[in-house]
Amino acid sequence: MTGGKGDMYKHILVPVDGSETAFKAAREALALAKLFGSKVVALYVVELRRLKEYEEDEREQVKRKLREFGVKTLERVQAEAGKFDVTFESMVKEGAPAEVIVETAREIEAELIVIGTRGLTGLKRMVLGSTAYRVVEWADCHVLVVK
């Protein structure tokens, strides 16, 4: 990598879920955006699979609350972006997180995804899977994993 403005990363996608690891990844993305003159797109994914745990009549209310949490999470990232003086956009989407992240990266033509991981290892990762792991496997662009 060379320093300064350039064409290396015009668009950086940073998915956030409200965790401190995700905010750490967002700060990394913002610092890289400042270095390269990139636009940062922060993404919050409402995981629809979680709604199956609720009764039919509760699902819309839960979905609305999840979207509200997503908006607040993105507002926190946007406040941080103001400190870095970078171009910033945010979006809330619904679906399976890894799939939505990879699709969004393609849509915005991201050259880099910066994603936090909670550090699942061994059996837990094999059984539970990991959004970051799936993104690394499926993405067409560079992926920086922050832990």
**pLDDT by residue, tens only, the chain of 147 residues:** 444 555 689 999 999 999 999 999 999 999 999 999 999 999 999 998 888 889 988 999 999 999 999 999 999 999 999 999 999 999 999 999 999 999 999 999 999 999 998 755 665 555 445 899 899 999 999 999 998
Task: Please say whether the beta carbons of 14 and 101 come within 8 A.
Answer: no
Strand order in the sheet with 39-46: 87-94, 39-46, 11-15, 112-116, 142-146
**74-84 tens-digit pLDDT:** 999 999 999 99
Task: Please say whether the beta carbons of 73 and 44 come within 8 A.
Answer: yes
The phi and psi torsions of 140 (rounded to 5 degrees) equal -90, 0
Type of residue found at 99: E
What are the structural domains, with CATH classification, of the chain?
Answer: 11-146 (3.40.50.620)
- Beta strand 11-15 with 39-46: parallel, antiparallel or unpaired? parallel
Question: What are the residue ranges of helices labelled H in 97-144?
Answer: 97-107, 122-128, 131-138
Q: Is the dihedral of CA 21, 36, 83, 102 positive or negative?
A: negative
